[in-house]
């Protein structure tokens, strides 16, 4: 009883504390291809021995070949999640925001709005993990969630300060600029799912943020963006490191463990939450790019 009460108080403190500064732990460097489907020139070599797990494989149009990966067998629940929702990733990879960011043609005003909206998202994302911490079924899960929260804070302190300074974004501007409807929709979905659904379902809803950004980073690096791009520094700070050593793999493995040991009914709800969050990732970028604000 005392242990659970301590965990609740820690989670409550996390919910009440302001984040250091906005920036999604894996939200840096959203960049991508041109074309209608997979426009980035990212050929997959069937003989490669350094493929970062399912990400490179998922881009392969031969889906049967993608299931021969030694790291993730066809029995992997998270692997199937990625494969089944891969079309949503393609939409994000090829959306105008990412194509223009990659080429350096993205309007700086749009990028600036993105930073502000990402701030609002990150404030919420941190709170979502605070809720999940309070609901964590065991000490192992609680420690893992605490690690994720610390990771968000570290990224905030290390990366976001730089871009807020470069873009002259003040604290007053951050607080006075409301979340766009798509940002608010995504935030509300994550909070609702974490608060009202079982722990596993809330956890699954947070996974696309980690996973999509890692894969975007991999694809961006492969596309070799021009050094003259004014967003090059942002791109270089994103998607670094092999899959096996990545923090994203740790999150995917953690979700995989919970998917394996939960019930069929809860697993189905986890899949639905993951799918919805992927769609909301797309809407988040699209809302920023098109400057979709609340009706006045």
Sign of CA dihedral 184, 185, 186, 187: positive
Residue 116 near residue 172 (C-beta atoms within 8 A): no
- Residue 4 has a pLDDT of 52
pLDDT at residue 192 in the model: 98
User: Considering just the CA atoms, what is the radius of gyration of the chain in Å?
Assistant: 19
Determine whether domain 2-35+86-289 maps to CATH 3.30.390.30: no
For the chain, the structural domain boundaries read 2-35+86-289
User: Is-contact 217 239, C-beta < 8 A?
Assistant: yes
d(CA 192, CA 19): 20
Q: Which residues of the chain have pLDDT under 70?
A: 1-74, 157-160, 224-228, 236-240
The number of angstroms, rounded, from the C-alpha of 173 to the middle of its chain's C-alpha atoms is 24
Query: Which pLDDT does position 240 carry in this prediction?
Result: 63
Q: Tens of pLDDT along 53-77?
A: 333 323 333 333 333 333 444 479 9
pLDDT by residue (tens digit) across 101-158?
A: 888 899 999 999 998 999 889 889 999 999 999 999 999 999 999 999 998 888 776 6
């Amino acid at each position: 009883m005392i242990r659970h009460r301590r965990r609740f108080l820690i989670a409550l403190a996390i919910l009440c504390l302001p984040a250091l500064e906005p920036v999604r732990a894996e939200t840096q460097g959203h960049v991508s291809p041109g074309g209608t489907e997979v426009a980035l020139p990212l050929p997959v070599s069937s003989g490669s021995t350094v493929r970062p797990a399912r990400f490179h494989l998922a881009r392969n149009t031969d889906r049967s070949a993608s299931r021969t990966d030694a790291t993730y067998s066809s029995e992997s629940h998270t692997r199937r999640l990625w494969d089944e929702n891969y079309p949503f990733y393609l939409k994000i990879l090829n959306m105008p925001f990412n194509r223009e960011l990659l080429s350096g043609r993205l309007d700086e005003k749009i990028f600036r709005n993105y930073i502000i909206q990402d701030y609002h998202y990150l404030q919420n994302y941190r709170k979502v993990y605070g809720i999940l911490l309070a609901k964590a079924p065991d000490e192992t899960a609680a420690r893992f969630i605490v690690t994720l929260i610390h990771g968000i804070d570290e990224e905030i302190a290390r990366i976001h300060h730089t871009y807020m300074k470069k873009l002259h974004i003040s604290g007053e501007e951050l607080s006075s600029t409301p979340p766009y409807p798509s940002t608010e929709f995504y935030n509300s979905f994550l909070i609702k799912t974490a608060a009202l659904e079982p722990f596993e379902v809330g956890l699954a809803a947070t996974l696309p943020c980690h996973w999509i950004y890692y894969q975007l980073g991999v694809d961006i690096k492969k596309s070799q963006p021009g050094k003259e791009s004014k967003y090059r520094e942002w791109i270089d700070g994103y998607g670094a490191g092999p899959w096996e050593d990545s923090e994203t793999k740790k999150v995917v493995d953690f979700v995989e463990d919970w998917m394996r040991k939960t019930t069929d009914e809860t697993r189905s709800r986890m899949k639905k939450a993951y799918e919805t969050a992927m769609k909301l990732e797309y809407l988040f970028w699209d809302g920023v790019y098109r400057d979709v604000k609340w009706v006045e």
